[in-house]
Amino acid sequence: MGRPREFDEDTVLDAAVLCFWSRGYEATSIRDLIEKTGLTGASLYNAFGDKRALYRRALDHYVEGSIGERIRRCESMSPCEAVEAFFGDTLKRSLNDLDRKGCMLVNTALDVAPHDPDFREAVAAALARVEAFFLGSILQGQADGSITSAQTAEDLSRHLLGVLMGIRVLARVRPEKVLLEGVVRSALALLKFRGQPAKFTGQDDR
Amino acid sequence: MGRPREFDEDTVLDAAVLCFWSRGYEATSIRDLIEKTGLTGASLYNAFGDKRALYRRALDHYVEGSIGERIRRCESMSPCEAVEAFFGDTLKRSLNDLDRKGCMLVNTALDVAPHDPDFREAVAAALARVEAFFLGSILQGQADGSITSAQTAEDLSRHLLGVLMGIRVLARVRPEKVLLEGVVRSALALLKFRGQPAKFTGQDDR
DNA sequence: TGCGTTTTGGTTCAGTCGTTCTAAAATACA
DNA sequence: TGTATTTTAGAACGACTGAACCAAAACGCA
């Protein structure tokens, strides 16, 4: 009943993601969105509500299609492979990101999340999802001995989450292969160390 | 010759930093700046140029007073203490950041640097300064045996820089003590491990 | 066929943006 | 004191913002 839509919602969301992703929330105007999505202002407004609601939909669309997809792809691998593949993916993406869009989730975390509880919750939930993926992989790796038990799985997964965020920030400013690969190389090495870290600073175990 | 200024430049820059820091570049209007700095639009414009130039001055002011100061304070310590104190400082700042301003340098790295070569260079230079501080500490620590030589000092300092960025991002969304402390605990543990990381995944050195 | 519902394309709105302008006020130097 | 120079204060500029409005068009269903 009523006139059917002439546009595909997913296609419109893809275009909206691209706008918000590359320019940020504030810097993206409704007219930008009108131009890139192809549909008119009225259509945008009665299909998605206001600009903020559209950003919210676009963010969810991005998270599901980008991060969720990556997690699903890695989850079937062995623990070490999963973590390595996840970071390998992120690294490749960051280095091929010629127009420096970065990660839309990280951008949101700094642009709109601090001033908006709803978005903060949404970003936190997405981050928690990644953290849970890391935690699952590490627990599994600790169980089969492929990942160090020198530190708690919780600390290690928190650390990996932090490193992941850091990569996305560095890549926006210095998208250099040696830099980003250096960051992850140490992180992955951390997972492989055996035994306890040294408690003393003297040279006692030569 | 001419009428002397009624305002102190540093005081104005402090206020400008506060504006840009908490609201970001785009979201901060000239009228905000006029209100918070106390001086009028005309004064702002003929003292600093335009909005962009003022942000640039404010950023330099922030970097020197915040990051530069921290580096200077830590540089006199022993290698391990220096790194630990640096992260301890960052952690305390992040957890006491009730209005979630984060780090202005990181904010700039994502807000304006990607679209502005000048700012990208400025941010990159500031990051390089932090990286150099880490590298110096680690080289010194490797020399006196207090820091692992299992990985190159370059990789380790890159890693620490990444972790630092990550903390600043996470703190904007999830300023939880356990989370942030977990991130740095693993990073600091990495510096202390002895010997080579395990190359194999079997359980061979029990 | 005709009614009800929804989308569509433009237009318009009130407000805000960064910036500039004019003129008065305030000082230093001659 | 007079003049040159700079800073002040406030109004004003055009452009753009997110949002709302409108009649016309396009369908599903009775």
Alpha-carbon gap, residue B136 to A172, rounded angstroms: 25
Angle between helices B51-62 and B30-37 (to 10 degrees): 50
pLDDT of A93 higher than 70: yes
> B194: pLDDT confidence band, cut at 50, 70 and 90?
confident
Confidence (pLDDT) at B7: 86
Confirm if A146 and B201 have CB atoms less than 8 A apart.
yes
Distance, CA of B163 to CA of B87 (rounded, Å): 10
pLDDT of residue A32: 94
Is residue B100 within 8 angstroms of chain A, CB to CB? yes
- A99-144 pLDDT per residue, tens: 999 999 999 999 999 999 999 999 999 999 999 999 999 999 999 9
- What's chain A's average pLDDT? 92
Q: Which pLDDT score, from 0 to 100, does residue A19 have? A: 95
pLDDT tens-digit readout, B126-147: 999 999 999 999 999 999 999 9
Note the strand D nucleotides within 7 A of protein beta carbons: 4-12, 16-22, 25-29
Q: B1 CA to C29 C1', in Å? A: 7
Q: Tell me if chain A has a CB within 8 Å of the CB of B79.
A: no
- The pLDDT of residue A25 is 95
Q: Which of A77-86, B35-44, B107-116, B183-192 has the lowest mean pLDDT?
A: B35-44
Q: Assess contact for B148 and B192: CB atoms under 8 A.
A: yes
Mutate to test the interface with A, among B98, B169, B174 (most CBs of A within 10 A): B169
Residues in chain B within 8 Å Cβ distance of A168: 169
pLDDT mean across residues, chain B: 92
Query: Within a 10 A sphere around the Cβ of A61, how many other Cβ atoms?
Result: 18
CA/C1' separation B23–D5 (Å): 37
Closest to A44 (Cα-Cα) out of A81, A19, A7: A7
Contacts of B162 in chain A (CB under 8 A): 163, 166-167, 170, 180, 183, 187
Residue B41, pLDDT above cutoff 60 = yes
pLDDT tens across B64-93, in order?
Answer: 999 999 999 999 999 999 999 999 999 999
The more confidently predicted of residues A8 and B105 is: B105
First to last CA, chain A: 81
Radius of gyration of chain A (CA): 20
- pLDDT at residue number A131: 98
Residue A59: name the closest of A97, A6, A19, A91 by CA.
A19
Please tell me the distance from the alpha carbon of residue A136 to that of residue B120, in angstroms, as a whole number: 37
Q: CATH number of the domain at A9-190, please?
A: 1.10.357.10
pLDDT at A3: 65
Comparison of pLDDT for A201 and B157, the residue scoring more = B157
Helix (H, G, I), strand (E, B) or coil at B43: helix
Task: Name the nearest CA neighbour of A12 among A36, A29, A28, A30.
Answer: A36
pLDDT at residue B201 greater than cutoff 90: no
d(Cα B78, Cα B61) in Å, to the nearest integer?
Answer: 28
Q: Is B201 on the interface with A (CB under 8 A)?
A: yes
**With 60 as the cut, is the pLDDT of residue A198 above it?**
no
Domain boundaries, chain A: 9-190
Q: Chain B contact for A163, CB < 8 A? A: yes
Q: In which element (H, E) is residue A118 found?
A: helix A117-144
Report the amino acid identity of residue A197: P
Nearest to A106 by CA among A127, A85, A88: A127
Distance, in Å, from the CA atom of B37 to the CA atom of B39, rounded to the nearest integer, reads 6
> Tokens representing A85?
């593949």
pLDDT band per the 50, 70, 90 thresholds, residue A196: low
What is the C-alpha separation between A85 and A51, in angstroms, rounded? Answer: 35
> In the predicted model, what is the mean pLDDT of residues B60-67?
97
Q: Would you tell me which residues have their CB within 7 A of strand D? A: A 1-4, 28-32, 41-42, 45, 50-52; B 1-7, 39-43, 46-47
Instruction: Tell me the CA distances in angstroms from A13 to A31, A97, A124, A192, B87, one per residue in order.
Output: 15, 20, 22, 41, 40
Predicted pLDDT of residue A205:
41
- Kindly state the percentage of chain B with pLDDT values over 70: 93
Residue B183 with chain A: CB contacts under 8 Å: 158-159, 161-162
Q: Which of A110, A148, A197 is facing B110, going by the closest CB pair? A: A110
pLDDT tens per residue, range A30-47: 999 999 999 888 889 989
Per-residue pLDDT, B195: 61
What is the predicted pLDDT for the residue at B196? Answer: 54
Average pLDDT over residues A163-183: 98
Interchain contact B123–A (C-beta under 8 A): yes
For the cut 60, the answer to whether the pLDDT of residue B37 exceeds it is: yes
Q: Does the CB of A154 have a partner CB in chain B at under 8 Å? A: yes
State the architecture of B62-192 in CATH terms: Orthogonal Bundle (1.10)
The four Cα atoms B76, B80, B85, B88 give a dihedral, to 10 degrees, of 170
B188 in Cβ contact with A186 (< 8 Å):
no
Residue B66 φ then ψ, to 5°: -105, -55
Protein CA at B39 to nucleotide C1' at C27, angstroms: 18
CA separation for the pair A109, A107 (Å, rounded):
5
Asked if pLDDT for residue B100 goes beyond 50, the answer is yes
Q: Indicate the residue of B120, B145, B164 with minimum beta-carbon distance to A173.
A: B120
Q: What percent of chain B has pLDDT over 90?
A: 86
Q: Which residue is it, tokens 């290690």?
A: A156
Question: DSSP letters along A135-185, please?
Answer: HHHHHHHHHHTSS--SS-HHHHHHHHHHHHHHHHHHHHH---HHHHHHHHH
| C-alpha distances in Å from residue B75, one per residue of A79, B68, B84, B91, B152 | 39, 11, 12, 18, 21
Using C1' positions and the CA of B1, the closest nucleotide is C28
